[in-house]
Amino acid sequence: MVSLKDVAKLASVSLMTVSRAINNPEKLNKETYKRVKKAIEQLNYVPDLSARKIRGDHTAPHAIGVLALETAMTPFSVELLQAIEKTAQQHGWNTFIVNLFDDKQPDHAINTLLSYRPDGIIYTTMGLRKVELPEKLLGKDVVLANCISDSEQLACYIPDDYNGQYLAMQQVIKKGYQKPLCIYLSENTLAGNIRRKAAEQAWLDAGRNLDDMLSYHTVLQHDLAQEYMMTVEILKQHCKNKPEFDVLICGNDRIAFVAYQFLLSQGFNIPNDIAVLGYDNMVGTGELFYPPLTTVQLPHYEIGEQAALHIIGGNTQKKTTLVASPFSQRESL
């Protein structure tokens, strides 16, 4: 790797002169600056920003370190990372992302992240979940995005799943549906339980009886094969002769996708025979359903943006912020 000494040697100047050319070019005469700049370009020298921070050099750009637990594994979660990077760039900050694929042994990833001396850290996860903050991050300037923790009081930005599901269920009721079949996410997930409570409360608030709702939870999160098989079995059970439900409430858009395949293969029309409501608004898929899927938007971009602004703005508040999950009306409902 090219060093500051290499640049100084090629330009025939001192290390101090190279440093000034990088940090305070106005202090050098034009000829010296041009000579140093030419050497930098010729050697493709990249300043060591982390070293500058260690030395207490406040001219080094600010940086956000992102510890991403499985966040890059699904297209819609990538929006969260994209938002952090774009927001940082707009404010003249840098970002670097360290992917963590298993939270059981995070030391290597965390050591890598801390070695860059970030001004703040965003800990993100795929799927809303409760995390145990690694010991090495305790006491650091950490913001949680799409997760919560009992480790210590922290700023958290998470989707407002309750109101997202509640408002969507209100639309189901408003449109006159009487017999919902609900296939929620696993009971072992925060989202699965929150969304069920919201759907049932909306149903009760409309003066309906919970006995009119058929409710199930899928298996563990991310077990796609089991999720597929369980969805099909539930639908078969309630479509033996004629469907026992007039609207299907899905825990996510993947469940809705499986339901579309099954219902259409059985000759049912969506939404005339059975309406379908999804959740997530997976990137690029809502409009690919036929008819287009009515769903609830998971605000991953907004979560990433607000988490980044929290650090950039020097926000010291440590509270949980619920980010709105808007209803996306299409033709399946």
Mean pLDDT of 291-307: 95
pLDDT at 54 over 50: no
Distance CA 271, CA 266 (A): 14
Flag whether pLDDT at 315 surpasses 80.
yes
The residue-averaged pLDDT of 130-141 equals: 86
Per-residue pLDDT at 4: 76
Which of 19-28, 40-49, 138-147, 258-267 has the least mean pLDDT? 40-49
Handedness of CA 98, 103, 106, 110 (dihedral sign): positive
- CA torsion, ordered 293, 211, 189, 147, to nearest 10 deg: 70
User: Does residue 186 contact residue 127 with C-beta atoms inside 8 Å?
Assistant: no
Residue 240's pLDDT is what? 82
- Give pLDDT, residue 14: 86
What SS3 class is residue 7? helix
Q: In angstroms, what CA-CA distances link 122 with 113, 155, 264?
A: 11, 10, 43
What value, to the nearest 5°, has the Cα angle with vertex 206 and ends 200 and 208?
Answer: 65
pLDDT attached to residue 83: 94
207 — pLDDT class (breaks 50, 70, 90):
very high
In this predicted structure, the answer to whether residue 38 has a pLDDT above a threshold of 80 is yes
Report the CATH fold assignment for 161-296: Rossmann fold (3.40.50)
Q: Give one word for 207, left, alpha or beta, with left for phi > 0 and alpha for psi -120 to 50.
A: left
Instruction: Return the beta strands (E) in the chain as ranges.
Output: 63-69, 94-100, 120-131, 142-149, 155-159, 180-184, 214-217, 247-250, 275-277, 295-296, 320-323, 327-328
The domain limits of the chain are: 4-47, 63-159+300-323, 161-296
The lowest-confidence range among 29-38, 95-104, 160-169, 174-183 is 95-104
Ramachandran category for residue 36: left, alpha or beta (phi over 0 → left; psi -120 to 50 → alpha): alpha
Average pLDDT over residues 170-174: 97
Whether domain 63-159+300-323 has CATH 3.40.50.2300? yes
Among the ranges given (24-28, 200-204, 257-261), the one the predictor scored with the smallest mean pLDDT: 24-28
How is the chain split among helix, strand and coil, in percent rounded to 5?
45, 20, 35
Q: Is the pLDDT of residue 152 over 90?
A: no
Q: In the predicted model, is pLDDT for residue 300 greater than 50? A: yes
Lowest-confidence segment of 22-26, 34-38, 63-67, 110-114 by average pLDDT: 22-26
Cα 262 from Cα 246, distance rounded (Å): 15
In this prediction, residue 47 has a pLDDT band, given cuts at 50, 70 and 90, of low
CATH code, residues 4-47: 1.10.260.40
Lowest mean pLDDT among 5-9, 202-206, 276-280, 316-320: 5-9
Q: pLDDT tens digits, residue range 61-120? A: 789 999 988 776 666 678 899 999 999 999 999 898 888 876 667 777 888 888 778 889
pLDDT at 137: 86
Q: Do domains 4-47 and 161-296 have the same CATH topology?
A: no
Please give the DSSP secondary-structure letter assigned to residue 145: E
**Arithmetic mean of pLDDT over the chain:** 87
